[in-house]
């Protein structure tokens, strides 16, 4: 399970997995998450989550999940104690969870859709210049695959993480183009790496002796289930808290939804003693997260043999006893949170901004890669960061040149993307006039 990065048990101060965590948290891509939207627009409310706070919370929940699973696994298989501790399990899941959104573009899923749509709508000009697998990548921008690329990219972005952390990060161990997708397997829902990282991914999976079902489809690393569970728990439970604090969902309905998760552990008398509504919601959120952690750990241990054999391939949150209560939260969130006007306006903005930036930069990138740019293309090309310009010119294919550009676009914060869009489209002048 942890093959590839063993350490001596006397090395208690800082393990290789702790190093992974530190490298992620001090990286540029992680820092940019502070100005990337989670669900709600950022400036108006100070308690609304950004991608950064969400990632920190997912990492915290992931650490708890990993440590508890690690404790039980080592109790069940004492031989593991010679090389690993429960701390290692927690550190791996915490690091992988910390990085789980690191590849997301500005404006989240609407940003992904905008990038994908641009290439789909410009198929005639671009598709003949790339392979089928590369084209599948371009028309399906995927934050998980972009994250894997950033974590492994050479130069200042590459973090040189351990193999177990990278594998736990990879929830979808397949490329974008496969012959057929088994919809019953959660790990095949999306894809986890681009053609540009194909060899890196294959080398990683072979080094860990991961199950391989076909030349392009692998089994998940067991700890990837815990990374996914941490994200699922935080995403639904904390979005509900944000929705209540914003007035999109009533306190009474919020309490009922959390109470359904807690079951017999819900104590309305104790809740009534709390003075503020915000405190009540915060306490229920904390208790619900704790309950879901317990349920996911229990299920993981119950399904351990099936997880290791590859027979279990579902989201833990879809199978635990509280699955129906979580389903109710999801339904309410879709209706009252994700489709509220401010969120829809944010999504529309993201679509227009990222699509517009690709309209501006794609032709200059292609022309400068080919070495015959127009004056206009030279001007726009020079707006790209110097290292991006150099990477594009040094690319060995159109696909690599486009990936370099997309690295820059996807790395932008919401604010920087909007600012650049306004300038290149002539909506505002440099200097803010």
Question: Looking at residue 326, what is its pLDDT?
Answer: 96
Structure tokens at 272: 């009534």
Note whether residue 252 is domain-resident: yes
Task: Based on the fold, state whether residues 263 and 331 are members of the same structural domain.
Answer: yes
Which segments in the chain show pLDDT lower than 50?
A: 8-11, 40, 42-43, 156-157
pLDDT at 292: 98
Same domain, 284 and 318: yes
Determine the Cα–Cα distance for residues 37 and 112; give it in Å rounded to an integer. Answer: 13
Phi, psi of 50 (to 5 degrees): -100, 175
Integer Cα distance of 392 and 379 in angstroms: 15
50 is a domain residue: no
Inside any domain, residue 85: no
Which residue in this structure is represented by tokens 């790990």?
A: 187
d(CA 168, CA 228): 9
Same domain, 322 and 299: yes
Length of the chain: 433
Give the residue from 176, 217, 214, 171 showing the smallest Cα distance to 196: 176
Q: Helix and strand tally (H, E) in the chain? A: 21, 2
Last residue of a domain, one of 308, 336, 364: 336
**Domain tally, the chain:** 2
Q: Crossing angle of helices 386-393/398-411, nearest 10°?
A: 160
Residues 366 and 310 in one domain: no
- Asked if residue 37 lies in contact with residue 108, where contact means CB atoms within 8 angstroms, the answer is yes
Of the three residues 273, 307, 336, the one that is the final residue of a domain is 336
Does residue 348 sit in the same domain as residue 332? no
Number of C-beta neighbours around residue 275 at 10 A: 7
Q: Say yes or no: 311 and 245 in one domain.
A: yes
Considering the domain boundaries, does residue 158 fall inside one? Answer: no
Here the contacts of 44-49 (C-beta below 8 Å, separation 24 or greater) are: 44/342, 45/245, 45/246, 47/242, 47/245, 48/242, 48/245, 48/246, 49/238, 49/239, 49/242
Is residue 251 included in any domain, yes or no?
yes
Are 365 and 432 found together in one domain?
yes
> Token pair for residue 209?
């002796």
H helices present in 303-340, as ranges: 304-309, 323-336
386 & 429 share domain: yes
Q: How far apart are CA 418 and CA 357, in angstroms?
A: 9
Q: What pLDDT was estimated at residue 426?
A: 82
Which structural domain range is residue 348 located in?
106-140+340-433
- In this structure, is residue 281 part of a structural domain? yes
Asked whether the beta carbons of 320 and 340 are under 8 A apart, the reply is no
Q: Which of 318, 336, 354 is the last residue of a domain?
A: 336
In angstroms, the CA 414 to CA 421 distance is: 11
């Amino acid at each position: 399970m942890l093959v590839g990065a063993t350490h001596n048990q006397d090395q208690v101060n800082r393990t290789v997995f702790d190093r992974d965590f530190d490298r992620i948290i001090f990286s540029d891509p992680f820092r940019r998450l502070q100005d990337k939207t989670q669900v709600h627009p950022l400036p108006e409310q100070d308690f609304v989550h950004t991608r950064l706070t969400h990632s920190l919370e997912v990492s915290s929940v992931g650490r708890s999940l990993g440590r508890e699973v690690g404790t039980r696994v080592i109790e069940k298989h004492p031989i593991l104690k010679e090389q690993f501790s429960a701390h290692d399990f927690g550190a791996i899941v915490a690091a992988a969870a910390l990085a789980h959104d690191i590849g997301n573009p500005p404006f989240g899923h609407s940003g992904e859709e905008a990038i994908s749509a641009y290439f789909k709508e410009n198929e005639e000009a671009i598709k003949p210049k790339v392979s089928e697998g590369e084209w599948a990548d371009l028309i399906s921008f995927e934050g998980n695959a972009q994250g894997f690329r950033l974590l492994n990219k050479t130069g200042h972005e590459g973090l040189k993480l351990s193999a177990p952390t990278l594998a736990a990060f990879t929830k979808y161990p397949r490329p974008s183009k496969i012959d057929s997708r088994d919809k019953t397997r959660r790990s095949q829902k999306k894809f986890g790496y681009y053609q540009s990282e194909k060899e890196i991914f294959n080398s990683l999976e072979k080094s860990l002796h991961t199950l391989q079902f076909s030349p392009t489809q692998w089994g998940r690393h067991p700890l990837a289930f815990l990374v996914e569970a941490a994200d699922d728990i935080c995403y639904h439970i904390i979005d509900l808290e944000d929705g209540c604090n914003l007035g999109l969902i009533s306190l009474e309905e919020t309490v009922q939804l959390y109470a359904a998760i807690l079951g017999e552990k819900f104590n309305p008398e104790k809740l009534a003693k709390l003075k503020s509504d915000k405190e009540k919601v915060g306490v229920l959120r904390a208790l619900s997260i704790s309950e879901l952690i317990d349920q996911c750990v229990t299920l993981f241990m119950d399904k351990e043999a099936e997880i290791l054999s590859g027979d279990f391939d579902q989201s833990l949150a879809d199978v635990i006893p509280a699955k129906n209560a979580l389903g109710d939260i999801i339904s309410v969130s879709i209706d009252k949170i994700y489709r509220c006007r401010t969120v829809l306006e944010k999504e529309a903005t993201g679509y227009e901004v990222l699509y517009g930036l690709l309209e501006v930069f794609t032709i200059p990138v292609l022309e400068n890669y080919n070495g015959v740019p127009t004056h206009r293309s030279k001007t726009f090309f020079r707006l790209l960061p110097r290292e991006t310009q150099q990477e594009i010119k040094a690319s060995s294919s159109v696909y690599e040149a486009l990936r370099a550009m997309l690295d820059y676009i996807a790395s932008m914060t919401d604010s920087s993307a909007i600012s650049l869009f306004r300038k290149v489209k002539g909506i505002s002048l440099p200097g803010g006039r």
